[in-house]
């Protein structure tokens, strides 16, 4: 029999103090991408105290896979990311970051705590024979940043082959623009492809008083910037989702010297493979304006995370499990999320969990915080998703 939402709501509420303890512990001691040693140790300690889990450490860095075997059949994965951001927190709460210049400004401390709470309930259910099936809990490092190879934690973990047995995968993300009792879901592309570009304009510098004797890369850059920004409205269908932004322009060391080169760095965001390829092709075309004005250029494009694709069948599992909460169907925006590497290969979905405070705290801001009561909602939904998914697969829940 499928575990009822009301029963799980009560059991999740009983975990309130544990959830807050876990979250504030992680919040006080945040760790950057690929540096999550303490976080991983704390996760392992909590999992071992529950019993029943087969634990693999050091997966793709400091990643952990905890497997609960409660019978055969399909395998469902539940994923939480664990890394923090290089942001100095405004210390206006007693559990503020003790690590200067590092904070959990994207809710990953809550993601891990919610998955630990889910692990607690599932272990209890398995011990009393109420769970039938295999569940893998995936505690993933390095969602926020890649390493020198250009890979994030999701790619690292998947490359180990230890997740090849997954039949489906789910995740959640804290959502400060929605209140507790609300979630946000969306079928299909829901977060953006993320591609960065680095364009170097090479000219010939010299005395600023004699511009006729130089090839001015600053002057060339003004034309190139116009060409780049025209992609948004003139080369990309305005009915399609695609945008380009320049975040850095670097060149020169003195006001009276024309530099030899100028660097332009930026990002491209899109929702479909077609628009992604179109933007990459068009930026290459736009760069040719440099040669027409007498300069040379080097263009490097780093393909980042693909668009997050939420599979409709997995969103159905989430919607059914979230009842009676309010469900909003909207894309999540133009940010990127490396969980997309999972759903690119495995049927899966992510939902955003309302956690907004009276004064909204935005993601990646130095004053970010959450309504901690929302964590018990996340535990209830994720646990119910396990039973709902097993029900749809024809298993016993």
Closest CA to 87 of 337, 362, 370, 304: 362
Do 237 and 361 sit in the same domain of this protein?
no
| Residue 327, pLDDT score | 99
Whether 252 is covered by a domain: the verdict is yes
Contacts of residue 338, defined as CB under 8 A and 6 or more positions apart, other chains included, come to 81, 143, 152, 153, 154, 155, 305
- Number of domain units in the chain: 2
Q: Are 390 and 366 in contact (CB under 8 A)?
A: no
- pLDDT 10s digit of each residue in the chain, 397 long? 456 677 999 999 999 999 999 999 999 999 999 999 999 999 999 999 999 999 999 999 999 999 999 988 899 999 999 999 999 999 889 999 999 999 999 999 999 999 999 999 999 999 999 999 999 999 999 999 999 999 999 999 999 999 999 999 999 999 999 999 999 999 999 999 999 999 999 999 999 999 999 999 999 999 999 999 999 888 998 889 999 999 999 999 999 999 999 999 999 999 999 999 999 999 999 999 999 999 999 999 999 999 999 999 999 999 999 999 999 999 999 999 999 999 999 999 999 999 999 998 999 999 999 999 999 999 999 999 999 999 998 754 4
Whether 254 is covered by a domain: the verdict is yes
Is residue 7 packed enough to be buried (19+ CB in 10 Å), middle (13-18) or exposed (0-12)? Answer: exposed
Do 17 and 61 sit in the same domain of this protein?
yes
Output the known binding site. Answer: 106, 108, 144, 173, 364
Closest CA to 387 of 172, 18, 73: 73
CATH number, domain with residue 211 = 3.30.70.360
Do 15 and 131 sit in the same domain of this protein?
yes
Do 248 and 367 sit in the same domain of this protein?
no
- Indicate the residue among 303, 332, 350 that finishes a domain: 303
Whether 107 is covered by a domain: the verdict is yes
- Indicate the residue among 303, 331, 359 that finishes a domain: 303
| Residue 394, pLDDT score | 75
Do 179 and 114 sit in the same domain of this protein?
yes
Whether 253 is covered by a domain: the verdict is yes
Output the known binding site for Mn(2+). Answer: 106, 108, 144, 173, 364
Do 155 and 227 sit in the same domain of this protein?
no
What domain range is 291 assigned to?
193-303
DSSP letters along 272-298, please?
A: SHHHHHHHHHHHHHHHTHHHHTT-EEE
Whether 397 is covered by a domain: the verdict is no
Whether 210 is covered by a domain: the verdict is yes
* Collapsed DSSP state (helix, strand, coil) of residue 22: helix
HEC readout, 245-261: EEEEEECCCCCCEECCE
Question: Which residue's structure tokens are 């989430």?
Answer: 318
Do 63 and 186 sit in the same domain of this protein?
yes
| Residue 397, pLDDT score | 46
Do 163 and 311 sit in the same domain of this protein?
yes
| Residue 1, pLDDT score | 45
Whether 355 is covered by a domain: the verdict is yes
- Indicate the residue among 278, 303, 328 that finishes a domain: 303
Do 133 and 278 sit in the same domain of this protein?
no
Whether 384 is covered by a domain: the verdict is yes
Do 108 and 119 sit in the same domain of this protein?
yes
């Amino acid at each position: 029999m499928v575990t009822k939402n009301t029963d799980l709501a009560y059991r999740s509420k009983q975990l309130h103090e544990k959830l807050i303890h876990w979250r504030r512990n992680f919040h006080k001691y945040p760790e950057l991408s690929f540096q999550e040693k303490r976080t991983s140790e704390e996760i392992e300690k909590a999992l071992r105290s529950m019993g029943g889990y087969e634990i693999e450490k050091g997966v793709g860095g400091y990643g952990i896979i905890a497997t609960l075997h409660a019978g055969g059949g399909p395998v469902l994965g539940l994923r939480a990311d664990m890394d923090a951001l290089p942001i100095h927190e405004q210390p206006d709460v007693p559990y503020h970051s003790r690590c200067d210049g590092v904070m959990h400004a994207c809710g990953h401390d809550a993601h891990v705590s919610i998955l630990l709470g889910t692990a607690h309930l599932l272990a209890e259910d398995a011990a009393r024979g109420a769970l039938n099936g295999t569940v893998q809990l995936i505690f993933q490092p390095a969602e926020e940043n890649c390493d020198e190879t250009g890979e994030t934690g999701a790619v690292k973990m998947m490359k180990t082959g230890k997740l090849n047995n997954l039949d489906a995968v789910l995740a959640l993300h804290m959502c400060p623009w929605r209140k507790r009792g609300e979630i946000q879901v969306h079928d299909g592309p829901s977060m953006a492809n993320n591609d960065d570009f680095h364009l170097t304009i090479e000219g010939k510098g010299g005395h600023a008083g004699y511009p006729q004797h130089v090839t001015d890369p600053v002057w060339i850059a003004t034309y190139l910037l116009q060409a780049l920004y025209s992609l948004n409205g003139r080369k990309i269908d305005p009915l399609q989702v695609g945008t380009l932004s320049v975040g850095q322009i670097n060149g020169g060391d003195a006001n009276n010297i024309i530099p030899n080169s100028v660097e332009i760095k930026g990002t491209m965001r899109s929702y479909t493979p077609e628009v992604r390829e179109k933007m990459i092709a068009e930026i290459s075309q736009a760069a040719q304006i440099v040669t027409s004005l007498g300069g040379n250029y080097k263009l490097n494009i780093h393909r980042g995370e693909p668009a997050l694709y939420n599979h409709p069948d997995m969103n159905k599992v989430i919607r059914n499990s979230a009842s009676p909460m309010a469900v909003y169907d909207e894309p999540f925006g133009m940010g990127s999320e490396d969980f997309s590497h999972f759903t690119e290969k495995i049927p899966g979905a992510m939902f955003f969990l309302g956690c907004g405070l009276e004064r909204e705290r935005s993601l990646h801001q130095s004053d970010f915080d959450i309504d901690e009561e929302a964590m018990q909602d996340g535990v209830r939904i994720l646990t119910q998703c396990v039973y709902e998914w097993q029900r749809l697969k024809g298993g016993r829940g």
